[in-house]
Structure 1
Amino acid sequence: MLFLSIIKPVIFYKINSYVQVQMQLACTGLSKSNLFFIIGNDAINCVIARNDDFIE
């Protein structure tokens, strides 16, 4: 639990969402998926490719 208390909740949410998208891509066999973040009044669309590295 110490690790979770160190990172900011927003960063944890983004990483968790990314992992969920990668799991869905692995289970469905699709090659790409869209992940939307709503920040303020703006919707940001992230296109995530299957097996794309989150951190390079």
Structure 2
Amino acid sequence: MAKNSVANKGLKLYDFVKKGQPIALVGKTGYTDRDHLHFVVLRFERLLNMPWDYHSLEVKFEE
């Protein structure tokens, strides 16, 4: 991920994003040889023992 690209998109921890909304810029930061982006998708259906009690959700990408 490009350095500071998430903050430059106005996002912060626990923000919700919508389909098609840019979340970051791809770039080479750290120990890597190619551009990449790491992110986590969480879906909360009810309040649990927060902040890290969550269920897996399949993520689908459109081309």
With structure 1 as the length reference, what TM-score do the two structures score? 0.29
Please state which structure has a larger fraction of its residues in helix.
1
Instruction: State the structure with more CA Rg.
Output: 2
Please state which structure has a larger fraction of its residues in strand.
1
